[in-house]
Amino acid sequence: MILFRGLIAYFLSFSLASAAQAQSDYLVKLQEGFDQQQSFISLLHGQSGQVEVLARGWIRVQNFSQTTLHRMSENPSVEYIQPNYPLGLLKNYQIQDPLRRAAFQRSMSRHSWAEVSAMPADNPTFPRAPSQKNGNDPLLATQWSMANIEASEGWKKTQGSSEMIVAILDTGVDYTHEDLLPNMWRNPGEEGTDAAGRDKSTNGIDDDGNGYVDDLMGWDFAAKDNKPFDLAVDPKQLLISGGNPGHGTHCSGNVAARGFNSLGIAGVAPNVKVMALRFISEKGQGTTADAVMAIRYAVDNGAKVLSNSWGGEGSRSDGSEENLALKEAIQYAEAKGTLFIAAAGNGRAGTGYDMDKDPTPVYPASYDFENIISVAAIDVKNELGAFSNWGATSVDIGAPGVAVLSTTVGGKYSDKVLDFAGFDITWDGTSMATPHVAGAAALYWSLHPNKTWREVKDAILKSAAPTPALRGKTTTEGILNIKSLMNM
Ligand SMILES: [Ca+2]
Ligand SMILES: [Ca+2]
Ligand SMILES: [Ca+2]
């Protein structure tokens, strides 16, 4: 518990910095058990600004004056106020390298926009192998990531339980994808018909009383609707303006693309469920408010594993950017017995190897909560990805994260984000590594449903295969290994 006086100082220290911001966006946490949420809100009436009650004592306030915010912080019902820190994906596929960016713009400038628009720009599709009658996944043989972690050895024990749910907190999921649809979690409380014979998923009623109306397929916290659908990549827009659509769909495939269905690929846990929670826009941006709500949704609606390929870059030296709200949400997830798998992050251009010395570590991966597993990325040769953050004491394990094949939006499969106008970008990142570990946790937990999150985490870390590239770089000095894990 934090002292109130300290909080005011903390709040004021930020307010100076934020005064320059055109728009103020804050999260208000009410005191535990305080039931005067409405009277608190009525305090704000007559002031200009927007109030959004997020549920369970959380309120988002935007565009209030500093004076009003200060008065709010002194209200006895308020535990603390913090900025609604931006969070996002850890890699943006906008061309970062200025030389390549200039080259791309030069090459584009030789064409009219009409010509550029007419250039074929579909998401790259992996060549389809003929479907196999024996049930095998035709692209499994090309999934180096599954081979390196010996996933198929683990599937001899189990392919996962359909009761086991992994939440993907990301840009959404193409839940119509042939290899994901059979493994999509559906909210049982919004399925079927209500007393009046109407479809519960479209009756406009929160049938299960979980605070979300018609949330059959999960929830879109960014757009505030019940369709957490991922968007397809437009390579031209991506290269010019950045963003990262399709990211959540790619992550989902490596957790739980359906296995042994004669189609496409297989995820690490080929028979578990994926819960689609969209809180990051196709531009790769989200906020703490939406992350907190997505984490709580996952935990409250039955997910045992949360796959988190996103983050923010951390604290200032004075600690004023400590994201208390996000920390509380992860503590809540721990208290509810869930594992929180987090991407270790990708170093910024030209730096970024040794996050141990970095004063602004990527969070939430660097948070010191026991239920977090922080994941670095390795390539086909089991070398550390050139971009991958690492930390001898802060990063736990390596998993495949360079040129990874998975499901992509529009019912496709690819190991490339785009292949356009001479720019060939593969799906790389600790973002891609993280879902492999999330899938592993779900697979092991399926076999041992009575084990605790701590036992599952210990098994994953103890069974890591030692590898020279991770010596001194992660706590386990090893790579995820499903064969060994399933023998634990
Ligand atoms: Ca509901
Ligand atoms: Ca409903
Ligand atoms: Ca498949």
Ligand 2: centre distance to CA 227 (Å): 13
Q: Are 413 and 265 in contact (CB under 8 A)?
A: yes
Which pLDDT score, from 0 to 100, does residue 115 have? 67
- CA distances to 12, 233, 341 from 433, in Å: 39, 20, 10
Tens place of pLDDT for every residue, the chain, 488 residues?
Answer: 233 333 333 333 333 334 334 468 999 998 877 655 666 776 676 677 888 888 778 889 999 888 888 888 888 889 999 999 999 887 655 555 666 666 766 766 666 656 666 665 555 677 666 666 677 999 999 999 999 999 999 999 999 999 999 999 999 999 999 999 999 999 999 999 999 999 999 999 999 999 999 999 999 999 999 999 998 877 777 777 777 889 999 999 999 999 999 999 999 999 999 999 999 998 889 999 999 999 999 999 999 999 999 998 765 555 456 899 999 999 999 999 999 999 998 875 434 445 455 556 788 988 889 999 999 999 999 999 988 888 888 899 999 999 999 999 989 999 998 877 777 788 999 999 999 999 999 999 999 999 999 999 999 999 999 999 999 999 999 999 999 999 99
- Distance (Å, rounded) from C-alpha 204 to C-alpha 119? 42
pLDDT at 321: 64
Which secondary structure element, helix H or strand E, spans residue 13, and what is its range?
A: helix 4-18
Q: Is the peptide bond before 364 cis (omega within 30 degrees of 0)?
A: yes
**Per-residue confidence (pLDDT) for residue 56, from 0 to 100:** 73
Distance from Cα 198 to the centre of ligand 1, integer Å: 15
pLDDT the model gives residue 131: 67
Cα–ligand 2 centroid distance for 52 (angstroms):
22
Q: Which ligand is nearest to the Cα of residue 208, counting in written order?
A: 1
CA distances from 154 to 13, 83, 425 (A): 52, 44, 31
Question: Helices marked H in 143-234 — which ranges?
Answer: 144-148, 151-154
User: What pLDDT does 92 receive?
Assistant: 59
How high is the pLDDT of residue 16? Answer: 34
The verdict on domain 4-84 having CATH code 3.30.70.80 is yes
Hunting for tokens 């919004």 — which residue is that? 190
Strand partners, 278: 170, 220
Q: Give CA separation, 358 vs 275, 383, 389, 390, in Å.
A: 33, 22, 10, 11
Ligand nearest to the CA of 219: 1
Cα–Cα dist 326/333, whole Å: 11
User: Which residue numbers are catalytic?
Assistant: 170, 247, 431
d(CA 194, ligand 1 centre) in Å: 13
Ligand with the closest atom to the CA of 217:
1
Contacts 24+ apart (CB under 8 A), 35-44: 36/77, 37/77, 39/77, 40/72, 40/75, 40/77, 40/78, 43/71, 43/72, 43/75, 44/68, 44/72
The pocket of ion ligand 2, defined by CB under 5 A, consists of 190, 200, 203, 205, 207, 214
Name 219's bridge partners.
Answer: 277
**If you measure from the C-alpha of residue 170 to the centroid of ligand 2, how many angstroms do you get, rounded to a whole number?**
24
- Structure tokens belonging to residue 196: 């009046």
Q: Do 140-486 and 4-84 have the same topology in CATH?
A: no
Q: For residue 259, how far is the Cα from the chain centroid?
A: 22
Q: How many angstroms separate the CA atoms of 42 and 65, rounded?
A: 16
- How many Å apart are CA 200 and CA 22, to the nearest integer? 42
pLDDT the model gives residue 39? 66
CATH topology of domain 140-486: Rossmann fold (3.40.50)
pTM: 0.89
HEC secondary structure over 359-384:
CCCEECCCCCCCCEEEEEEECCCCCE
Identify the residue whose tokens are 């390539």. 379
CB atoms within 10 A of CB 316: 13
Ligand positioned closest to the Cα atom of 215: 1
Tell me how far the alpha carbon of residue 417 lies from the centroid of ligand 3, in angstroms.
20
In angstroms, the first-to-last Cα distance of the chain is: 38
112-142: b (≥16 Cβ within 10 Å) or e: eeeebeeeebebbebeeeeeeeeebbbbbee
Give domain limits for the chain: 4-84, 140-486
Cα 214 to ligand 1 centre (Å)? 5
